[in-house]
């Protein structure tokens, strides 16, 4: 029963992350340099559009993996998906570390640190929860 609670907590945190990262990733995938400037994304000014698109793609894929992989791992025969869930949430946490470094180097941390930590912390927690669940879960 404890494994089920831990697994569900990881899935809920993954869903929270997915909401934020899919929204941000989709904007990076579809936005223009002008849209990024209007959103006051100063970092995007000196970043190539290809790099911005890659970041957006990785955020969307990580968000999907943070939800789908832990759910799939609950299905008998798909226990191997657990590793993808851990990798997805850990990857999202590393994305936020990179974002914090960029914002710090640009002197923007006073504006962005709370949001960055608000996504970093649940990503780390979700990765740990996904990693500690012992499969298969007994209902």
Amino acid 82: pLDDT: 87
Contacts of 21 (CB under 8 A, 6+ apart): 59, 60, 62, 63, 66, 92, 95, 119
Amino acid 68: pLDDT: 93
Rounded Cα distance, 119 and 88, in Å: 13
What mean pLDDT comes out for the span 14-36? 94
Residue percentage of the chain with pLDDT more than 90 = 62
More confident residue, 139 or 55: 55
CA terminus-to-terminus distance, the chain: 7
Q: What 8-state DSSP symbol labels residue 138?
A: P
Rounded Cα distance, 22 and 111, in Å: 21
């Amino acid at each position: 029963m404890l494994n089920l609670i831990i697994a569900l907590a990881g899935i809920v945190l993954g869903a929270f992350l997915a909401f934020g990262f899919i929204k941000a990733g989709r904007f990076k995938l579809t936005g223009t340099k002008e849209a990024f400037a209007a959103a006051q994304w100063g970092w995007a000014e000196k970043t190539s559009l290809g790099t911005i698109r890659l970041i957006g793609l990785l955020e969307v894929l990580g968000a999907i993996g943070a939800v789908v992989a832990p759910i799939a791992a609950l299905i008998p025969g798909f226990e191997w998906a657990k590793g993808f869930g851990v990798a997805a949430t850990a990857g999202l946490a590393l994305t936020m570390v990179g974002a914090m470094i960029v914002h710090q180097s640009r002197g923007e941390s006073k504006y962005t640190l709370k949001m960055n930590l608000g996504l970093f912390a649940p990503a780390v927690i979700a990765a740990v929860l996904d990693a500690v669940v012992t499969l298969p879960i007994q209902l």
